[in-house]
Amino acid sequence: MSGITFYKTKDLNQTKSFYTSKVGMRVWLEQPDCVILKHDNMLLGFCERDESDIQGTITFFYEKEADVDEMCEKMQDHVLGEPEVSDKYRIYRFYARDPEDRLLEFQSFRHQLDVFNSGDNLLISRRSIRKYEKTEVPDEVLWKVFELCRFAPTSKNCQSYYFLVIRRRDMLEQLAGVRGGNSSPIGRAPMAVAICTDPEVTRRPVQDGCIAAYHFLLAAKLFNLGTCWIAAMDRDDVKQMIGIPSEHYIATITPIGYPAERREAPARKEASELVRFVD
């Protein structure tokens, strides 16, 4: 279930232009005299009328304080002051006004949040994180991730995968050295998770394990956790190290924790370059 907040506007074209070019919203739906704009999981509608609604505050929030600073620079002709910290609400924010004098707030929370990402933003924004904060991942958050992961599909619904949580510092350091620089991110995280499958339960251990692993990476991102797919960990020495049978398959052992780095989106091919149709 989703919702839309609507505002009256005297100048629909000007309002649409401001929120798309300045704020970075995109057009979600256009009607004869209304436009609905989207910002992650926010839907904001504007309808052309004889008067404008300017009550209340429209708040946009971002994952990092650097994103707020970037928006402040972009909105410089409309800001009401420099970004500041609110200790009461544990946020970093600044205020601005749109062309019709609506009050806008741009902020980031200074504490961890529950799920807020929309599906499209989740798929677009997930990055491989190789540097982590020392902050431990609370068990409550970790179990919320696993609760989502139990819905990962498997061959014939055999549910062959399992997740091995690794918190021992000595083991994390050992795993970090298995593949040199390629596995080193494990040593920088407060914990790691091995995603494994049991071949006695499934005839497709590789496929089941890889699907479950990517399910885990996406679920972790929902809770603002960073991960990194560490490949080629399906090795006898690793299995002995973490205490699983040699015949079990390891899709990946991913570090997991709160990111201590911000990764920009790499260049991507256009969809038209990736899609082919069979005649």
Token pair, residue 51, equals: 């008067």
What does the domain layout of the chain look like in residue ranges? Answer: 5-109, 119-257
Digit-coded pLDDT (tens) for 45-60: 999 999 999 999 999 9
- Write down the pTM of the prediction: 0.73
Distance CA 103, CA 101 (A): 6
- 5-109: what fold? 2,3-Dihydroxybiphenyl 1,2-Dioxygenase; domain 1 (3.10.180)
Give CA separation, 119 vs 4, 16, 181, 184, in Å.
17, 24, 32, 30
**Residues 186-221, buried b or exposed e (16+ Cβ, 10 A)?**
bbbbbbbbbbbbbbebbebbebbbbbbbbbbbbbbb
Digit-coded pLDDT (tens) for 165-198: 999 999 999 999 999 999 999 999 999 999 999 9
Domain 119-257 in this protein, CATH class: alpha beta
Digit-coded pLDDT (tens) for 103-155: 999 999 998 777 677 777 788 889 999 999 999 999 999 999 999 999 999 99
